Amino acid sequence: MKKTFIVITLLSIVWLSSCGGSAKSEKNTGTSIAATAVSDNATTNREVPTETGTISSNENVVQLTKAMFLEKVYNYEKSPDKWAFIGDKPCIIDFYADWCRPCKMVAPIMEELSSKYKGQITIYKVNTDQEQELAQFFGIRSIPTVFFCPATGDPQMAQGALPKETYEKAITELLLVKK
């Protein structure tokens, strides 16, 4: 009885730290990093359109469309069965929705990280409501979901709103590792 209560409590915490039900799964690449709840710093992200996408007005977080994703990150139409990163530097991809409160908590963290690691990594955002095909291809079931894509090797995935320190640890251990 006690174990059942603990399991239900832990599942509730994970569920509360993410917004569920974004898209049905077809394919899932990457490995999960444990999700935990974080601070309550909800802010909205203003965006500025550019020729190659949308950049957050505060920093260099780039809003990805499917076409940009296929060109800058991974062309899954040409290579659907094997991950083949085509970017010029490691990246983070934040799958989010405008209505998702935990996503709004992650947005300022991503902006801070884009400033701190400028020139070393690229941070992208994918709106799962607008880019449903991308969300479906990667099996995004809850948001926020963040992919850490190293220059070589497979991407790693984290779900839920995580502390900034967790993202920084993933950046240093997964993305900025010299091989």
The arithmetic mean of pLDDT across residues 52-78, rounded, is 78
Residue 62 has a pLDDT of: 93
Quick one: which of 61, 39, 75, 168 has its CA closest to 114? 61
Residue 86 has pLDDT above 80, yes or no: yes
Q: SS3 letters for the chain?
A: CHHHHHHHHHHHHHHHCCEECCCCCCCCCCCEECCCCCCCCCCCCCEEEECCEEEECCCCEEECCHHHHHHHCCCCCCCCCCCCCCCCCCEEEEEECCCCHHHHHHHHHHHHHHHHCECCEEEEEEECCCCHHHHHHCCCCEECEEEEECCCCCCEEEECCCCHHHHHHHHHHHHCCCC
Catalytic residue among 19, 91, 100, 149: 100
Whether residue 128 contacts residue 143, with contact meaning beta carbons closer than 8 Å, is answered with: yes
Annotated domain spans of the chain: 2-175
Query: What type of residue sits at position 78?
Result: K
- Per CATH, the architecture of 2-175 is what? 3-Layer(aba) Sandwich (3.40)
- Provide the pLDDT confidence category of residue 60 given band limits of 50, 70 and 90: confident
Q: What percent of the chain has pLDDT over 90?
A: 61
Would residue 19 show up in a list of annotated catalytic residues for this protein?
no
Here the tokens at position 22 are 């974004």
pLDDT tens profile 6-52: 434 333 344 444 555 433 333 334 443 433 323 233 333 444 343 44
Catalytic residue among 19, 91, 103, 149: 103
Terminal CA-CA length for the chain: 48
Residue-averaged pLDDT of the chain? 76
The arithmetic mean of pLDDT across residues 110-115, rounded, is 95
Whether residue 93 contacts residue 128, with contact meaning beta carbons closer than 8 Å, is answered with: no
Would residue 91 show up in a list of annotated catalytic residues for this protein?
no
